[in-house]
């Protein structure tokens, strides 16, 4: 993984990516609600500590084989039955290998799969509960299952048949695709991007076991220096002396409404008694649907946001979150929040319709826009995480900038949807002054210009090898 020498000193440009659904209003909803969780939070800040929140299970799981044993493990893998991984499988292997899903130690066996599917959580041996809302599983087909036979270990290989991991003490069980889709998305309607990419045509069996990854995952796309593991992020946050870490996930370009939200959150945390709150700007780096702006372009846009001073590099850490995107709304947003605990975040900003999308068949949102933030405030295993719902930000025509929405003068505000933003960029039209920094907007225009020149709906990106 990236070395800590790339952990963003103030002279280093920042690149990076998700947000609300692609067609949601670019109106980011941060209030600090008056819930019981918020009241206890305010009481807790009277004795602020600089130690980071503990990872789930009390210890960060790291599943990459130590350097001295890699040659030995590669020899072992050469003699094992093989399971070829898809690009999405590789991304989940990356997630597991670095401990984002701690305390998981590999692809889920059936008991873990069923707990996740039915309870959105896992019960540990000591009786405690950690959140786990999306299955992290590996599918195999009938032919692969037959080749594995009675073996208790398999080698996981890339598209070139190179062994990249070993799965041990394996368990193979039925892949209930319809139930998995129904319980994860709340619908089995055709057109769910992730389901079509990774589930519908996948094998009829799931294989789980203990994972050993032979080498750190590299994408070789020029962005590996921004893919900090939870361990590396914790080290960087401690180096910066963070006494609060607030995470913001996005899969879209950053506009000035998002920046207002993040800077206002830091101001509020300072008012609550924290001395050095650090923002973890954490774009999603795995699979996304075709109309989302690709990671490489989002990273260029984020770089300009920091270069232009819209966000402060001294109090911001930008890193890529390697998870694929499911677009599973309130179910998936729990995964996004839980993973950030393992990276050291004790605050999580949640917006309108997080991880949501339009219904794949009907002309409506797939999820209620408010359910994500409500679910996070009640989700089992997330009690240690402070949830910060957005305040709505929109373009204030009287001030010529993004501002928090004032319903008493609603006529003064302009809400710019994702569709509208993309349409302006595609047509090389400028948004209102103050909507996005000029350098960031130019990156977005250049991206859509590159599509028209190539004739492709979306430029392809490299996948990990």
Tell me how far apart the alpha carbons of residues 326 and 271 are, in angstroms, rounded to a whole number: 36
| Cβ partners under 8 Å of residue 92, min gap 6 | 107, 136, 138, 323, 324
Domains of the chain by start residue, with CATH: 67-213 (3.10.400.10), 224-455 (3.40.50.620)
pLDDT digits (tens, 9 = 90+) for 368-399: 999 999 999 999 999 999 999 878 899 999 99
Alpha-carbon Rg for the chain in angstroms: 22
pLDDT value for 32: 37
- Is 378 within 8 Å of 330 (Cβ atoms)? no
**pTM of the complete model:** 0.88
Structure confidence at residue 417 (pLDDT): 76
Please give the pLDDT value at position 420.
Answer: 87
Give phi and psi for 449, each to the nearest 5. -65, -40
Do strands 244-248 and 347-350 pair parallel, antiparallel, or not at all (unpaired)?
parallel
> Rounded to an integer, what distance in angstroms lies between the CA atom of residue 120 and that of residue 124?
13
Q: What angle do CA 289, 84, 214 make, to 5 degrees?
A: 100
What is the pLDDT, as a whole number, of residue 389?
A: 85
Structure tokens at 46: 């009277």
Q: Which residues of the chain have pLDDT under 50?
A: 1-49, 457-465
Pick from 154, 169, 177: which is nearest to 84 by CA? 154
User: Running DSSP on this structure, what letter comes out for residue 54?
Assistant: P
> Which of 135, 104, 340, 134 is closest to 230 using CA atoms?
340
Q: Tell me the CA distances in angstroms from 422 to 210, 293, 401, 442, one per residue in order.
A: 43, 10, 19, 12
């Amino acid at each position: 993984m990236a070395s800590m020498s790339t952990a963003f000193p103030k002279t280093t440009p920042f690149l990076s990516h998700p947000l609300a659904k692609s067609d949601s209003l670019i109106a980011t909803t941060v209030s600090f609600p008056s819930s019981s969780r918020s009241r206890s939070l305010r009481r807790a800040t009277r004795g602020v500590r600089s130690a980071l929140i503990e990872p789930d299970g009390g210890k960060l799981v790291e599943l990459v084989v130590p350097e001295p044993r890699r040659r030995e493990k590669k020899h072992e893998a050469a003699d094992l039955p093989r399971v070829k991984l898809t690009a999405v499988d590789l991304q989940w292997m990356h997630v597991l290998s670095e401990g984002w899903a701690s305390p998981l130690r590999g692809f889920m066996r059936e008991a873990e799969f069923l707990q996740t599917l039915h309870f959105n959580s896992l019960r540990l041996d000591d009786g405690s509960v950690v959140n786990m809302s999306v299955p992290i599983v590996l599918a195999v087909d009938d032919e692969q299952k037959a080749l594995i036979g009675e073996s208790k270990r398999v080698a996981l290989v890339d598209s070139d048949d190179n062994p990249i991991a070993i799965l041990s003490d394996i368990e193979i069980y039925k892949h209930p695709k319809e139930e998995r889709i129904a319980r994860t998305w709340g619908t089995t309607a055709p057109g769910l991007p992730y389901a079509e990419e990774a589930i519908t045509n996948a094998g009829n069996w799931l294989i789980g076991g203990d994972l050993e990854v032979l080498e750190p995952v590299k994408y070789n796309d020029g962005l590996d220096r921004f893919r900090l593991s939870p361990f590396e992020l914790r080290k960087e946050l401690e180096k910066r002396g963070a006494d609060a870490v607030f995470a913001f996930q996005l899969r879209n370009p950053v506009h000035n409404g998002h920046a207002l939200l993040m800077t206002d959150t830091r101001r509020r945390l300072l008012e609550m008694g924290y001395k050095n709150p650090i923002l973890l700007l954490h774009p999603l780096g795995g699979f996304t649907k075709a109309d989302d702006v690709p990671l490489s372009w989002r990273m260029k846009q984020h770089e300009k946001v920091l270069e232009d001073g819209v966000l402060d590099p001294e109090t911001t850490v930008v890193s890529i979150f390697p998870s694929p995107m499911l677009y599973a709304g309130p179910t998936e947003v729990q995964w996004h929040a839980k993973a950030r605990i393992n990276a050291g975040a004790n605050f999580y900003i949640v917006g309108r319709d997080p991880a949501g999308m339009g219904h794949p068949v009907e002309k409506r949102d797939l999820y209620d826009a408010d359910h994500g933030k409500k679910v996070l405030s009640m989700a089992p295993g997330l009690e240690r995480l402070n949830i910060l719902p957005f305040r709505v930000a929109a373009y204030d025509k009287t001030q010529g900038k993004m501002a928090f929405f004032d319903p008493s003068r609603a006529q003064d505000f302009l809400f710019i949807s994702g569709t509208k933003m993309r349409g302006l960029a595609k047509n090389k039209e400028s948004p209102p002054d103050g909507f996005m920094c000029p350098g960031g907007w130019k990156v977005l225009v250049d991206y859509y210009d590159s599509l028209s020149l190539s004739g492709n709906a979306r430029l392809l990106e490299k996948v990990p090898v």
